[in-house]
A and B are shown apart, each in its own frame.
Chain A
Amino acid sequence: MSSLGLYLVRRLGLIIPTLLGVTAVVFLLVRLIPGDPARLIAGIQAQEEEVARIRIELGLTRPLHVQYGIFLRRLARGDLGLSAVTRVPVVEEVASRMRATVLLALCSIVLAAIAGMAAGIVSATRQYSLLDYLVMGVALFGVSIPVFWLGLMLMLLFSVYLHWLPAGGYGGPQHLVLPSIALAAFSVAIIARMTRSSLLEVFGQDYIRTARAKGLHHQIVILKHALKNALIPILTVIGLQFGALLGGAILTETTFAWPGLGRLLVSAISSRDYPVIQGIVLVFAAIFALVNLAVDLLYAYVDPRIHYG
């Protein structure tokens, strides 16, 4: 097996304890709440027989580690129980909403990566110019602006006053524009700041001076020499931003009536639908873990100096 293959296997192995920990947290979630877990899982209006059935099914009268074993076994079969409100299997509820959230998150992270890096490059190449101050000023706005408020303001401007874009809902690409921009804003700012500082650090290196001295075109020096070497911290930030983005998606989906996991989570918390809460928290954490894994693998691709032996 190649060394990259070995690294992949090892890194995949490292994700397992994380995911196990996440399942333990989700498992403990309903057991930490005061009250009868069977009643919490079944829902407030459930019949007494239903509560009794769940108590036996989940082994709630048995020791905690046995209960966790049962939880994991059911999870491995893709069984997260039934929604306490709709009585639909949680897995089905989650699966039907996942597409919308993944679509929104991917759109936003791509937008954030492109816009953030572009702004960072512009800023770094013209350090201390008016443009640099402008970009960094906008970036400061970006990290301070509440994502849900920005969403509403975009909606006011582009939907209510200009009638250019729909104010919410799900469907064609036009529905995706405002939520993606609102959700991406924070990450654009963070990525722009990181790109700027990472590039400025690389600009001070000898090999950049050499590349310039031998008369290479300005753009080639920046894109081929500088950016490539500045990419590792930028990638790290993009990976971390994906987590922030998933959190922000919960707020953005609520703002734009976007039928994704975030909105489902909020309504599940309001109606105390604990099986659904468990399922969504699990899915969000799993997505985040996989993205971090992907970023780690990208490192090896971007920087050949990284040993994956």
Chain B
Amino acid sequence: MRMSIRASTTASWFHEVPVRTRPGVWSRLRRHRTAVIGLILLSALALGGVFAPVVFTEDPGDAYFERVLQPPSRAHPLGTDQLGRDLLGRIVHGARVSFLIGILAVGLSATMGVPVGLISGYYGGGVDIAVQRLVDLMLAFPGFLLALTLIAVLGVGVANVVVAVGLATAPAYVRLVRGVALSIRGQVYVEAARALGAPAGRIIVKHVLPNCLAPIIVQSTLQLGTAILTAAGLGFLGLGVKPPTPEWGTMLGEGQTYLFSSWYIATFPGIAIFVAVMAFNLLGDGLRDALDPRMRLG
């Protein structure tokens, strides 16, 4: 009789948990002032990117030779570049390119890194050692150098930038997820699931992965900033997205030639990169505080 009562209370407790924690994370994030600033900045950039073709109807690749290298004015608030293209329009269009590259690269990175990290951490042993050696090898190259080397192999272009940046950041996911999986593997509820005969795949998906989600979300947010920064760096070197696609780093690289005569060409795309990266950093830090129960806001 007592057993059944206890069982029913446990069941109701299980039901309440997700209902209680989810608004908790959101309200904690909302109280995190800097995270809100990050979120607002990102929303503004994303909205700009979405509505760019509606607001800036000029094709960002079209040249207008009658108005080259014009300083900021009412008609062109950020000036025009060496081909007479409106810089504001190109920067807003560029948000689409940079965000797309960032999201795809981080997506690729997580898709590769998370499963490998889960398997490496959960199974341990020989698989783990092999994976860790491979990760060590990738981390033996400074991150930007790894992306650059991959570009040397793959060649330039949007797709190759995504692959290069994605591959270069994948080891970080493997490390992170492996660490969590390793600590979850020994938990009593995992042992219980195993004792009940649950297959390893099910345990990994149902028990280990949910515990990795919070760190993965935080990591991915911060990684989005890094990915945009890395892609912009490649573009700056002329080894990223090919012109005339309006990518911020590529625009900055082109503007360097005209730095002494027309400062605005290199300056404004740089501000765009800076704001986007900072927004992801702010949001990522906020998410870490909101999702990490050990570091609640006072």
Q: Which residues does A use to contact B, with CB under 8 Å?
A: 17-18, 21-22, 25, 29, 32-33, 140-141, 143-149, 152-153, 155-156, 160, 167, 243-248, 250-251, 254-255, 265-266, 269-270, 274, 277, 281, 284-285, 288-289
Contact = CB atoms under 8 A, between A and B. Distances in A.
Contacts of A153: 267, 270
Given A148-B233, A153-B270, A251-B233, A22 B141 contact: yes
Contacts of B233: 146-148, 251
B256 A255 contact: yes
B278 A144 contact: yes
Interface in B233-288: 233, 236-239, 249, 252-253, 256, 259-260, 263, 266-267, 270, 273-274, 277-278, 281-282
A29 B152 contact: yes
Nearest to B279: A144
A144 B259 contact: no
Contacts of A265: 148
Given A146-B232, A149-B270, A266-B237, A246 B140 contact: no
Contacts of B282: 140
B227 interface: no
A251 B145 contact: no
A257 to B, nearest CB: 10
A281 B149 contact: yes
Interface in B146-189: 148-149, 151-153
B18 interface: no
Interface range on chain B (Cβ under 8 Å from partner): 35 or more
Contacts of B225: 144
Interface of B: 133, 136-137, 140-145, 148-149, 151-153, 225, 229, 232-233, 236-239, 249, 252-253, 256, 259-260, 263, 266-267, 270, 273-274, 277-278, 281-282
A250 B237 CA distance: 9
Contacts of B141: 22, 25, 281, 284-285, 288
Contacts of B260: 160, 167
B228 to A, nearest CB: 9
Contacts of A33: 153
A18 B137 contact: yes
A146 B259 CA distance: 16
Interface of chain B, helix or strand or loop or mixed? helix
Contacts of B229: 146
Contact of B274 (A18, A149, A152, A245): A149
Contacts of A277: 149, 152
Contacts of A32: 153
B266 A152 contact: yes
Given A22-B141, A141-B278, A251 B236 contact: yes
Contact of B137 (A25, A146, A248): A25
Contacts of A274: 152
Contacts of A246: 142, 145
Contacts of A18: 136-137, 140
Nearest to B235: A148
Nearest to A280: B145
Contacts of A17: 133
B137 A250 contact: no
Nearest to A288: B142
B152 A269 contact: yes
12 contacts: A21-B133, A140-B281, A144-B278, A149-B273, A152-B259, A243-B143, A251-B233, A255-B256, A266-B238, A269-B148, A277-B149, A281-B145
